[in-house]
Structure 1
Amino acid sequence: MSETELRHADRAGEDEGQLDADDRLKPDFVDAVLDAVERGDTEEAQRLVEPLHPADIADLFELTPEDRRAALASAVADLLDGDVFAEMNDYVREQLIDALDARQVADIASELDTDDAVAIIEDLDADDQREVLRAMEPDDRAAIEEALSYPEESAGRLMQRELIAVPEHWTVGDTLDFLRGDEELTTDFWEIFVVDPQHKPVGTCALSWILRTPRAIAISDVMAREQTLIPVDMDQEEVALRFQKYALISAAVVDNSGRLVGMITVDDIVHIIQEEAGEDALLLSGAGEGDINEPVFDSYKARVRWLIANLFTALLASFIISRFEGTIERMVALATLMPIVAGVGGNAGTQTLAVTVRAMATNQLTQSNTARAIGREIRVALLNGATIALVIGTGVALIFANVLLGGVIAAAMMTNILVAGLAGVLVPVVLERLRADPAVASSVFVTMTTDSIGFLAFLGLASASGLVG
């Protein structure tokens, strides 16, 4: 066991002074740590922070004001190992990494599995990357450079090279002796990959099977030959879908020739699922990355362009209203009811859009079932539209004592909800066909459609029906 792992084991098993989980990182605790740092009492700061799990230490830095993080890092420098940096928010980690020299970053990266080391190094500038890589051991440098050669958010970036692979002609006894005799082997694995002479995976063997099988049995007789192989250039979102679909704990990553080059484990997939789900939700709202540690100007740039786009869609809706200015002047009630038609239609479109984007992200909606999905959303929209139209039509007729006005708003509501349902499913589908990210631009087009159609249907029907004399 490495020195880092021993230190973390000591932390986890320490009963005296160990913080209760509910007390970790509460405001009083964070203030106590920062007060100790400000007083220059590094011993007290380290005493408070040492019992924390690496993930909690990372959270402590995220909770610390930006201008005080450097001082905190200096005070607890002995506790800042690779596992802490691996758990940190990207922006916080980047800030702290910038304060370290290349040798220090190289030492931190060398403590980590390849995937975590790549996560740290890939965010550095090109010049800083070269300096850090030059400071690393040749084997570690080669592994990182190979990983960085793969596309961002691909299996090649996500995988770790530390794995256990044995030849198919070995026995269970040979495998056990190998596992026990080589101290350089990785300590975190759940299954062993069995490879042929060309180093191509031919099967997998769970540790439980090996432990329960007599030594003389061939490993090829114990292994499972069916396995899910991950191409090295596969997008990480597709990798996550495979793990979810086939309930995988780990999976082999193969290069273009089918050779085993790494593995991906489920703990990495949990992060990917969380990241991708949050990313799609934020893109739908136009909020950029939505990270509270993101620099203010970066957040501004990400959000303002979508606000400008929404401004133009609002101007289009205003233009439609202006075409019916005379109609509104003759019946003021129309002005009070217009926002209802547009607002409810917008909500209906957002509901359908959210369902559609999620279905596309989880691979539930594909080319083979698009027509069926559109038909389903039309039926849902018709039912919703009929229900809301009946409620709003009856209410308006009673409140304004005008049956025709109730009928007009009911027809406009029915029309807008139906259009909203169609837009909510068609817009993201069309954007995906055009190879655009449906989560990025869909909401703008759906909002524009529901606002414009809502006003046009309501005011147009009011004019055409003779409601306004």
Structure 2
Amino acid sequence: MAEDLAETEDEVLDQPRIDAVLAAVEAGDGEGVDSLLDPLHAADIADLLEQIGPSDRRALLALWSHEIDGEILSEISEGIREEVVEAMPREVLAEAVRDLETDDVVDILEDLDAPQQELILTALEDADRVAVEQAMAYPENSAGRLMQRELVVAPEHWTVGEAIDFLRGAEHLPDQFYHVILVDPRMTPVGYVTLGRILSSGREARLRDITEDSFRSVTATDAEADVAYIFNQYHLISCPVVDGSGRLVGVITIDDAMNVLDEEHEEDMLRLAGVGDEADVSDGPVETVKQRLPWLVVNLFTASLSALVISQFQNTIATLVALAALMPIVASTGGIAGTQSLAVAVRALATRDLTRANAARVVRRELLAGMMNGVGLALILGAAGVVIFGDWHLGAVLGLAMIVNQIVAALGGVLVPLTLERMGLDPALASGTFVTTLTDVMGFFAFLGLATVMLT
């Protein structure tokens, strides 16, 4: 079976291939594992290691860990990377990390314990080790951690011909690069030229005359989220990194910047769901509980506020039992509307589309949208109340409560994250709990309060 799959489904990771790999592992068939995994891309092999269970993963690594290279190692998720590193023979690990660029080595080291970090550092050549240690000295989640030291530099006064001759004669060049960075005598980056412009220009052309208008540079201590924003905003392919004195120390490429954007999006989504920013399907039950239980406890206390509001209207509910069945409709619909508004606001804050300059306009838009949604839902729910219960007073209470809670939900969804952001807190981390509590409390209060006034 392994041979058939290897011959007919090259470079495809699907369930039959996964099943075949697990069968080969169970049989201790190292050659079968090789034939199944060798045709796969590094990212697919990383996905395979993440999808199978811990015991199967350990058995697979025992058979195949000598084949894991640096590219596979860099693709593996943080949750299981430490386990894979521990299972790899030391000489294989040394060879794997030697093939990686410095930014990829730093990315791996950040997720490992000190003993494993030292193990990888000792496997590097002296120059690479110094570069990685210097990068690790920068703050976590900074441009200095994200940059690579392998770059191509040329004096700004060079001609295209001199640059081409230099590139052809250089012994060591990065495996992939997009720009030749131009520097002045102080090693300050002053521009860059794409390889396409170099190849399409005459040899006599000055490099400074064919530079790109998109040139930007960042400081090594800048936050990586700010770097990713610059790449996305100005459509950059690469960006030089300078130290505090403006000297060139590295370069960040688009693949690393886009990885940061993906991670930011993923963290926002996980935080909005209240499961932490490091949740992973490979986590064990204990890690999962540690991530989720704190927010469930917080939600338990906030839900008590809704119970407290309801308890204040016991006599009203006792008088008209139908209220007990209808009041969750108002609260839950408000919760959904608040989540919709919140998701848009948090994403806009993350992408810097929502700022102080346009905050008032966005709040007005949400207010109007909440009122319009509330009126539309009120007409439907009010009519249903009249038809089902034969009481237009009850229908009016339902409709008015719906309008009030839709307005509260729309405003809360944008004002809560804006307030948290002004306070220096992460809007994605706590907004969901506050907005849900707000819509529940106001939904019950509006519905039962109106019912007390109009029906009793």
1:249 is aligned to 2:242: no
The answer (yes or no) to whether the contact 1:190–1:250 under 8 Å persists in 2 is yes
2:254 alignment counterpart: 266
In the TM superposition, what whole-angstrom CA distance separates every residue of 1:18-42 from its partner, at most 9, and x where no partner exists? 6345xx2222212222222332321
Matches within 5 A, 1:6-45: 17=7, 19-20=9-10, 24-45=12-33
**Is the 1:168–1:196 contact (alpha carbons within 8 Å) kept by the matching residues of 2?**
yes
The answer to whether structure 1 residue 340 and structure 2 residue 329 are counterparts is yes
Instruction: For residues 82-128 of structure 1, give each alpha carbon's deviation from its aligned partner in whole angstroms, at most 9, with x where no partner exists.
Output: 01101111112121112346665443222101111111112121233
Counterpart pick for 1:324 among 308, 313, 334: 313
Q: Is it true that 1:99 corresponds to 2:72 in the alignment?
A: no
Q: How does 1:204-243 map to 2 (within 5 A)?
A: 204-224=192-212, 227-243=215-231
AA at the equivalent of 1:71: A
- The normalised TM-score by structure 1 is 0.92
Answer yes or no: is 1:359 the counterpart of 2:348: yes
What percent of counterpart residues are identical? 47
5 Å-filtered alignment, 1:174-213, equals 174-213=162-201
Q: Quick one: which of 162, 165, 177 aligns to 2:150?
A: 162
**RMSD across aligned C-alpha pairs, in angstroms?**
1.7
> Contact (CA 8 Å) 1:49, 1:57: kept in 2 or not?
yes
| SS, match of residue 215 in structure 2 | coil
Mapped pair 1:395 → 2:374: no
**CA distance change for structure 1 residues 347 and 93 in 2, over 3 Å: closer, same or farther?**
same
Count of aligned positions: 450
Deviations 1:36-86 (A, max 9, x none): 233232122112211111111212212222112233223223431101101
Is 1:62 the counterpart of 2:15? The answer is no
C-alpha distance after superposition, 1:416-439 (max 9, x if no partner): 111111111111111111111110
Equivalence for 1:281: 269
Which runs of 5 or more residues in structure 2 are unaligned? 1-5
**Structure 1: stretches of 5+ with no match in the other structure:** 1-15
Question: 88, 91, 96: which one pairs with 1:108?
Answer: 96
How far apart in 1 are the matches of 2:8 and 2:157?
A: 49
- Deviations along 1:360-401, one digit per CA (max 9) or x if unpaired, are 011011122212211111111111111111221122122211
Give the drift of 1:278.
Answer: 1.4
Residues 46 and 75 of structure 1 are in contact (CA less than 8 Å); yes or no, is this contact kept in structure 2? no
**Partner of 1:367: helix, strand, or coil?**
coil
Change (3 A) 1:423 1:120: same
Moved over 3 A (4+): 100-107
Which position in structure 2 is the counterpart of 1:293? Answer: 282
User: Is the Cα–Cα contact under 8 Å of residues 103 and 132 in structure 1 kept in the other structure?
Assistant: no
- The CA distance in 2 between the partners of 1:340 and 1:358, in whole Å, is 28
CA shift at 1:296, angstroms? 2.2
**Conserved in 1, the CA contact under 8 Å of 2:181 and 2:192?**
yes
Deviation at 1:147, TM superposition (A): 1.1
Report the TM-score when normalising by structure 2. 0.94
Please say if residues 193 and 211 of structure 2, whose CA atoms lie closer than 8 Å, have aligned partners that are also in contact. yes
SS of 1:76's partner is: helix
Aligned to 2:358, the other structure's residue is in SS state helix
* Other structure's SS at 1:17 match: helix
Q: Aligned partner of 1:95: which letter?
A: E
How many angstroms apart in 1 are the aligned matches of 2:217 and 2:106? 21
